[in-house]
Amino acid sequence: MKRTKIVCTVGPGTDKFGILEDMMRAGMNVARFNFSHGSHEEQAERMQMVRDAAMIVN
């Protein structure tokens, strides 16, 4: 049973679909979004990208 959680911040440096897939395959459990950087619209796009990548990886 995996108990350790790996939390990764998703932002301008990690918002490429392939990078998100790689992060998930490497063990990322939680995606964190820093709303101090970027607009709400940009964050919504990143969130959708994380959801789409999770569907492929899982």
Q: Give the pLDDT score at 51.
A: 96
Q: Is residue 2 part of a domain?
A: no
Q: Is residue 1 part of a domain?
A: no
What value does the mean pLDDT take over residues 32-58? Answer: 93
Q: Give the pLDDT score at 20.
A: 95
Tokens of 42: 């940009």
Q: Is residue 15 part of a domain?
A: yes
pLDDT exceeds 80 at position 1: no
Distance from chain centroid for Cα 32: 7
What value does the mean pLDDT take over residues 8-28? Answer: 93
Q: Give the pLDDT score at 37.
A: 82
Amino acid 19 reads I
Q: Is residue 44 part of a domain?
A: yes
Amino acid 55 reads M
Mean pLDDT of the chain: 92
Q: Is residue 3 part of a domain?
A: no
- Domain containing residue 37: 8-57
Q: What is the DSSP string of 1-54?
A: ------EEEESTTS-SHHHHHHHHHTT--EEEE-TTSS-HHHHHHHHHHHHHHH
Number of domains forming the structure of the chain = 1
